[in-house]
Structures are given as structure tokens and as C-alpha cells.
Homo-oligomer: A and B are copies of this chain.
Amino acid sequence: EALLAEAAEPGTPPRPCPCPLPSGDTALSRLVRRLLSARRSLDLCLFSFSCPQLARAVQLLHRRGGRGRLVTDAQYMGLHGSQIGRLRHAGIQVRHDQHSGYMHHKFAIVDRRMLITGSLNWTTQAIQSNRENVLVVEDAEYVKAFQDEFEKIWEEYNPANYRFFPQKQ
């Protein structure tokens, strides 16, 4: 919370966080810090996104003028607590799959140079209760593979390409 407040209004003295969650250097704060390091773009490919702190970080980046894009799963985006509606409302571009399987990726790419990936869905339940892993990788080889997958999915899920009815031959 202190990180987000400082990022929202730089220069104001940090107020002590009133929430009962662990403060200081947690896995969540490290993840927020990586996201807030974005200067130009943030590409998100997330099966499930219900963590309000992470949504606020994405909104902050968007307000600062970075380009945020988000791909998510059609079945999970409407679940209780999902942050997708809020992010769409804030102006972030969101696309989702249109097939019955899950869009099960859980990765983010910061400024096309840092890949954040792993088992973690961006949910409060996962962050607080699960055993998870998050890899942060800057090797160009890995970043490129995920960036290519992102661009491919982004185009595939473009609403302009929706095909709700079979085409006549």
C-alpha cells in the first residue's frame, strides 16, 4: 500500500498502512515494484486477476501514460472479485479468448524487456494462501518467446476477427 501511495503521489510522505497484512519486503511488494518499474509498456496475459493491489499498480502505470494491454480468460474474467471490469473502465485495453479451453497463461512483460511468469494467478487467495513460484527473467531469448506469444494471442483475440457464425462457403 505504501508503495502504491508513493507511486500515485510522488513526494508525499508515506502514511503508515492501516491494513493487517505483512508489510515491508513481501513477495507481493517485490512484484508491485517490478511492475511499477515500467516506463513504456506492460503486456499482461493472465488467466485470473482479482488482486486489487496489482490492479491499482496497472492503473497507475496507465495514468502515467504507459501502454497497458491485457489478455485474459473469458470464463474467469466475470467471476466475483475480478478486476477486469475496473481495468477496462480505467481505459486499459482488454481482450479475451473465445474458445472453451482456458487461456491459462500467467505472465507479464515490462517494457518488452522483463518477463514475469510462473504458477501464480494474480488473485488474493493465491498470494496469501498458496505455494507458488514467480520467475523474473531478463534474458532476451525467453522474453522474445513470450512477447511473440503475446502478440499472436493479442491478434487472434482481436474483436475485429470474431467469428460467431460459420461463414457461408
Let me know if A130 is at the binding interface, CB within 8 A: yes
Query: Copy number of this protein in the oligomer?
Result: 2
Let me know if A153 is at the binding interface, CB within 8 A: yes
A104 surroundings in chain B (CB, below 8 A): 119-120, 126, 130-132
A135 surroundings in chain B (CB, below 8 A): 117, 135, 142
- Does the CB pair A129–B142 fall under 8 Å? no
A119 surroundings in chain B (CB, below 8 A): 47, 104-107, 117, 119
Interface size range on A against B: 20 to 34
Which chain A residues (79-102) contact chain B, with CB distance < 8 Å? Answer: 97, 99-102
A105 surroundings in chain B (CB, below 8 A): 119, 131-133
- Does the CB pair B133–A149 fall under 8 Å? yes
The smallest C-beta distance from A108 to any residue of chain B, in angstroms, reads 13
- If A101-B129, A101-B131, A104-B119 are given as contacts, then 17 extra A-B residue pairs at C-beta distance below 8 Å, sorted by A number, are A47-B119, A99-B129, A100-B129, A102-B126, A102-B129, A102-B130, A104-B120, A104-B130, A104-B132, A105-B119, A105-B131, A105-B132, A105-B133, A106-B119, A107-B133, A117-B119, A119-B119
